Amino acid sequence: MTTIPVNSLQRHIQPLAARLADASKRVIDSGHFVLGPHVQRFEQAFADYCGATHAIGVGNGTDALELCLRALDVGTGDRVAVVANAAMYGTTAVLACGGVPVFVDIDPATHTMCPQALDTVLRAGPVKAVIVTHLYGRLAAMDALLPLCRSRGIPVVEDCAQAHGAQDPDGTRAGAFGDIASFSFYPTKNLGALGDGGAVVTSNPALAERTRQLRQYGWSAKYTNTLAGGRNTRLDELQAALLLEMLPELDGWNARRRAIANRYSAGIRTPALALPPPCGPEHVAHLYVVRSEARDAARARLAELQVQTDVHYPTPDYRQPSLQGKADASPLPQTEAAARSVMTLPCFPELTDAEVDAVISACNRL
């Protein structure tokens, strides 16, 4: 029996190979390779998809986060609230701006930012911005988090790297809740390029204009560096053309991911695993993450049964070696508990029904 992978980019991309090759040829034939017509078309299409006014293509998702903060004028010494269970991407962006990460604990069921924990942090001292991460594909509790920030005049950055297309019951999609949002198009994302890529999304024209300047050296005109903190981080024409081909497929891919996740939730019955809440439109099942108090043993047993697993994510940001002495390292109880126990099962659109059944069967043998 072949091992069932956590993800397979080859299986995901192969059905689109001819279309993507044609798109690549169009870019090559055009002679435009950076900030040309394909980027412009993709930016408009992706903004429309998210329900926002502007999308600004950049080099990757972490750059997108950093530019969101720089557009909000986050600088040296500014405190930014962020979760510590999302692989340090938000924290990296805060540090790149010279800011200070202030860590907020998570809800144990959803693994997203806990509103009560954020309220405690906001009462404790001034915060320049809040990064809300929609983790594993699930929208954070925006209906509770946004009022806490709005009442204090604190801007909200949405980290949507894992949540392309997630929406609340009113149809508002990830990227359209906060003041500004970041997306990653890393190949494993629900909408992934064939290389690095990212975008900043906003409906605030001033923030959009600042971001466009910041992604290209801080230029207000060619060779005129007006904004400090500018970068060279641009989505290229080739990746934009490929993303334009894939964007119409995103809702179908998300629906398949959601169906797989809900089959797991209905079929896995072992007390050895704690399952996430079922998926509705608010969750695009980027990852299907369970919890096991005996994670190492569970992973070993599943490997014996030909099921690959992963851990997203094993180390809270404040325990990362590079951060020691640079931020408050006080442990957060729910974040710590998640780091000890989270385990990712296979979940991607091309997973077959037979493979889903095999994963369920293997889990029920733990």
- List pLDDT tens digits, range 257-282: 999 999 999 999 999 999 999 999 99
The predicted pLDDT at position 182 comes to 98
- The CATH number for 218's domain is 3.40.640.10
- Looking at the structure, tell me whether residues 225 and 305 fall in a common domain: no
Give the per-residue SS3 of the chain: CCCECCCCHHHHHHHHHHHHHHHHHHHHHHCCCECCHHHHHHHHHHHHHHCCCEEEEECCHHHHHHHHHHHCCCCCCCEEEEECCCCCHHHHHHHHCCCEEEEECECCCCCCECHHHHHHHHHHCCCCEEEEECHHHECCCHHHHHHHHHCCCCCEEEECCCCCCCECCCCCECCCCCCEEEEECCCCCCCCCCCCCEEEEECCHHHHHHHHHHCECCEEECCEECCCCCCECCCEHHHHHHHHHHHHHHHHHHHHHHHHHHHHHHHCCCCCCECCCCCCCCECCCCEEEECCCHHHHHHHHHHCCECCECCCCCCHHHCHHHCCCCCCCCCHHHHHHHHHEEEECCCCCCCHHHHHHHHHHHCCC
The predicted pLDDT at position 33 comes to 95
Q: Would 122 be classed as within a structural domain?
A: yes
Mean pLDDT computed over 313-330: 92
- Looking at the structure, tell me whether residues 321 and 227 fall in a common domain: no
The string of pLDDT tens digits covering residues 111-125 is 999 999 999 999 999
pLDDT band at 326 (very low <50, low <70, confident <90, very high): confident
- Looking at the structure, tell me whether residues 80 and 138 fall in a common domain: yes
- Looking at the structure, tell me whether residues 187 and 322 fall in a common domain: no
Of 248, 264, 293, the one marking the end of a domain is 248
Domain of residue 346, residue span = 249-363
> For residue 327, is pLDDT > 90?
no
| Omega of the bond leading into 288 within 30 degrees of 0 (cis) | no
- Looking at the structure, tell me whether residues 132 and 177 fall in a common domain: yes
The letter for the amino acid at 24 is: S
Greater model confidence, 329 or 336: 336
- Looking at the structure, tell me whether residues 80 and 190 fall in a common domain: yes
Q: Would 3 be classed as within a structural domain?
A: no
Of 224, 248, 272, the one marking the end of a domain is 248
- Looking at the structure, tell me whether residues 281 and 218 fall in a common domain: no
Spatial CA neighbour of 53 closest among 62, 44, 61: 44
Of 221, 248, 275, the one marking the end of a domain is 248
Q: Would 4 be classed as within a structural domain?
A: no
- Looking at the structure, tell me whether residues 266 and 167 fall in a common domain: no
- The CATH number for 338's domain is 3.90.1150.10
Q: Would 333 be classed as within a structural domain?
A: yes
- Specify the pTM: 0.97
- Looking at the structure, tell me whether residues 244 and 259 fall in a common domain: no
Q: Would 72 be classed as within a structural domain?
A: yes
- Looking at the structure, tell me whether residues 157 and 32 fall in a common domain: yes
Burial of 159 from C-beta contacts in 10 A (0-12 / 13-18 / 19+): buried
> Total domain count for the chain?
2
pLDDT band at 325 (very low <50, low <70, confident <90, very high): confident
Mean pLDDT computed over 201-227: 96
Q: Would 66 be classed as within a structural domain?
A: yes
- Looking at the structure, tell me whether residues 230 and 290 fall in a common domain: no
Mean pLDDT computed over 81-85: 98
- Looking at the structure, tell me whether residues 186 and 289 fall in a common domain: no
pLDDT band at 329 (very low <50, low <70, confident <90, very high): confident
Mean pLDDT of all residues belonging to the chain = 97
Q: Would 2 be classed as within a structural domain?
A: no
- Give the whole-number percent of the chain exceeding pLDDT 90: 98
d(CA 178, CA 131): 9
